[in-house]
Structure 1
Amino acid sequence: MSSIRERNQELILRAASEEFAEKGFAATKTSDIAQRAGLPKPNVYYYFKSKENLYREVLETIIEPLLEAAEPFNQPGEPGDVLRAFIRAKIRISRDHACASKVFANEIMHGAPHLSPERVAQLNAQANHNIDRLQGWIDEGLMAPIDPRHLMFSIWAATQTYADFDWQITTVTGKASLDDSDYEAAAETIIRLVLKGCEIRERAAQPVSQ
């Protein structure tokens, strides 16, 4: 029974992500979500109670990956390694969670009315921690003295665009959809721009004690 429940919930969440990404919260109908999921409309209410709850669950599917993407900032590491890992994780989110990523971006553009205060505080705390780490590396002379906040904004924008503006990207590239090589090229390009632009330096090796 639990496997059927999990399967149905997954189908509904996937369908809801696609519907909310295409139409936004207000214009999305639960009947359209059910139809896309291939399930009766009452199933949507049975598992999620309301459209609002379902929308928040879609947001949850992207918040955890976003927090996990920032995990390199929470560990010891050189700035170049941390930034590489963060950029690659953000590109993977745009590839693997494209619809939920669009839903999240739209939610933020409208002032995050459906995000709980606790989630907003958690996301802001992580963002501020990332900025503090960047400023620390700048103070150590490991990075150029740039504004770390605007660096984070630039990375968010550069990686998020592969989810939010996929139609434009596929149109320009002449592809029906992007493949792994496209996402790899995107990650490498952004990494190169960021590391070169930030003038990343490595810490001097500590002498080995005799």
Structure 2
Amino acid sequence: MAEIPAEPQSGRGRTRIQKAKRQAILEAALDVFSQDGFRGATLDRIATAAGLSKPNLLYYFPSKEAIYAELLTGLLSTWLDPLRAIDPEGEPLDEMLAYVRRKLDLSRDFPRESRLFANEILRGAPNLGDLLSGDLRALVDQTAAVLRGWIAEGRLAPVDPKHTIFSIWALTQHYADFDVQICAVLGGDDPFDGAATHLETVFTRLLAPR
């Protein structure tokens, strides 16, 4: 077997083929981790799903942990974007309903990522603990302050801002994390057909100023 040259430590200097193979590994790993969780996933399974040999995979990533960490780092940014998009200068109810829709869209479009995130939280967030208590907490604090301002102005119903955000997470991410249960109960109907209308009704009743 020909000796494989050492890969650059940073993304700079990687060839197009190297980038494509790294992406193939991450895509395959996302499937495996979201189905089997971190403990159940193996490098052999990820390599097979990516169409690579295990030694070839290890050329791009030194361990299962390294693949998992890279997936999670990219995921957290995606997960925070809908919250960052809330406009403090916008119409409060419109902004909150738009946030609900963005979170539901994430569940529809990125179910594997949602399950990966849920599995990490269930494990006690060993890889995301610092980010959750740092970036996420700061962003939630900032958003909660915006909601408190809207409530004080009478433009939003008097609710607990942080628990309202938690409720939005729970009711939207449920459609990704428990999709098997939902699809079984609905008997094959698209769960997202009525979800957006239902959640808009729920949060309009909760948040509309009285």
* Superposition TM-score, scaled by structure 2 size: 0.85
Which is further off, 151-160 or 5-14? 5-14
- Contact 1:79/1:200, CA 8 A, preserved across alignment: no
Match of 1:187 in 2: 196
Q: Name the CA distance, whole Å, in 1 between partners of 2:59 and 2:88.
A: 41
Shift of 1:34: 0.8
1:69-84 superposed matches below 5 A: 69-84=82-97
Q: Name the CA distance, whole Å, in 1 between partners of 2:27 and 2:192.
A: 22
SS of the residue 2:67 aligns to: helix
Which is further off, 108-117 or 53-62? 108-117
Shift of 1:75: 4.8
Q: Is the alpha carbon distance of 1:80 and 1:37 closer, same or farther for their aligned partners in structure 2, counting shifts above 3 Å?
A: same
- Contact 1:73/1:133, CA 8 A, preserved across alignment: no
Q: Name the CA distance, whole Å, in 2 between partners of 1:102 and 1:113.
A: 16
Match of 1:137 in 2: 150
Match of 2:119 in 1: 106
Q: Is the alpha carbon distance of 1:61 and 1:96 closer, same or farther for their aligned partners in structure 2, counting shifts above 3 Å?
A: farther
Shift of 1:41: 1.4
Shift of 1:88: 1.6
Shift of 1:14: 1.6
* Superposition TM-score, scaled by structure 1 size: 0.85
Find the partner of 2:128 among 101, 115, 132: 115
SS of the residue 2:90 aligns to: coil
- Contact 1:137/1:143, CA 8 A, preserved across alignment: yes
Q: Name the CA distance, whole Å, in 1 between partners of 2:203 and 2:107.
A: 18
Q: Is the alpha carbon distance of 1:7 and 1:147 closer, same or farther for their aligned partners in structure 2, counting shifts above 3 Å?
A: same
Match of 1:38 in 2: 51
Match of 1:25 in 2: 38
Shift of 1:42: 2.1
RMSD of aligned C-alpha atoms?
Answer: 2.0
SS of the residue 1:76 aligns to: coil
Shift of 1:2: 3.0
Gaps spanning 5+ residues in structure 2: where?
Answer: 1-13
Q: Is the alpha carbon distance of 1:2 and 1:96 closer, same or farther for their aligned partners in structure 2, counting shifts above 3 Å?
A: farther
Q: Is the alpha carbon distance of 1:200 and 1:33 closer, same or farther for their aligned partners in structure 2, counting shifts above 3 Å?
A: farther
Find the partner of 1:164 among 170, 177, 190: 177
Shift of 1:184: 5.1
Q: Is the alpha carbon distance of 1:103 and 1:33 closer, same or farther for their aligned partners in structure 2, counting shifts above 3 Å?
A: same
Gaps spanning 5+ residues in structure 1: where?
Answer: 202-210
Q: Is the alpha carbon distance of 1:104 and 1:189 closer, same or farther for their aligned partners in structure 2, counting shifts above 3 Å?
A: same
1:27 is matched by which residue type in structure 2? G
Q: Report the identity percentage.
A: 40
Matched, 1:126 2:167: no
SS of the residue 1:24 aligns to: helix
